A and B are shown apart, each in its own frame.
Chain A
């Protein structure tokens, strides 16, 4: 009969102070790296663009007289005027706001094109589509390359929104995401807005006509 093997107890040798400090440093370092990664992720997430910002139109800002591209056609704002009454065809249209008439020159770039979207934007960020109360001369007008067309677009806006308006155009009518979009400041100040409000006569919406080539 043989004796059972003796029981051996294994115990790690006591670490010296230097090793313990080094291990603690490693653990703190790893913890720090994890926290830093989480913090950086949070910062990135906080500054990430939302869908509205990521897919916003590419705005080409400009002023009256400057040519700006709407991708398939170019736009030049030639002038702006306003009143509280508008004559189009045989009808006179009144409004509780103001009629803003923007005269533009449009020309297709390479292929025939249409204006799908025309709107004015006020300083509060509200947008007002071109009025559909009457037939607009440039609506559904096919633009041809090299043949500029001039005409007016009528917008109906609240009286308080007139000063500071800018006009936007696009070839798309519904989906305006990530498309080139001119935004041309109309240069309307409060004095001009007040003058338009006091104007008693109806403005006649100008027909579309060929522009200078």
Chain B
């Protein structure tokens, strides 16, 4: 135990500034044990909105109206039997002055195995046909659809991001274009389980 005593005497006899530095280092190390040195993700810059809120997001206005969990649902064809369909329903109106075919960019999921992925299908609710173009001034109910693996956790609510764009000059072409696709809002959407 002699070395302990020696160390304690050296610490006591050390200059004050070394003692302060040592104490500060010990405090930082101790805080690291309880997560004090862990990285902190920045707060989301997009606002949180409620289901049913119309969100102007550049070339379109989007109103997310609900979410569903479906089983086998023709005309959709599951790639793997036993999988499920996760569906986000939204009313989309093109507010730009031209028809748009980038509808798949509008909705993303924030969490789970499907986070950030493009929808596997986008259907028009009115006739269950795939959507290619939506036209100015003609709001449509659209289903954004992902296939969820059979073993994945079944969500009771979906964290949804609504994306939008900004009308600005493209530095490459020097023309005004819709650019900077990024989240404009987030919302939590309860999932209705309609598998039976």
Contacts and interface: CB of A to CB of B under 8 A. Distances in A.
Interface of B: 97-99, 101, 124, 126-127, 129, 132-133, 135-139, 173-176
A189 interface: no
A160 interface: yes
A95 interface: yes
B138 A158 contact: yes
A111 interface: no
Contacts of B99: 119, 127-129
A94 B126 contact: yes
A156 B132 contact: no
A161 B126 CA distance: 21
Q: Could you say which interface size class chain A belongs to?
A: 20 to 34
Given A93-B127, A126-B137, A51 B97 contact: no
Interface string A52-66: 100100000000000
A160 B137 contact: yes
Contacts of A119: 99
Interface of A: 51-52, 55, 91, 93-97, 119, 124-129, 131-134, 156-158, 160-161
A133 B122 CA distance: 12
A156 B175 CA distance: 28
A-B pairs with lowest CB-CB distance, top 6? A132-B132, A158-B137, A129-B99, A126-B97, A126-B136, A51-B174
B138 A156 contact: yes
B136 A128 contact: yes
Given A126-B97, A132-B132, A52 B176 contact: yes
A173 to B, nearest CB: 11
Nearest to A52: B175
Given A94-B126, A160-B137, 10 more contacts: A51-B173, A95-B138, A119-B99, A125-B97, A126-B97, A127-B99, A127-B136, A129-B98, A129-B99, A156-B138
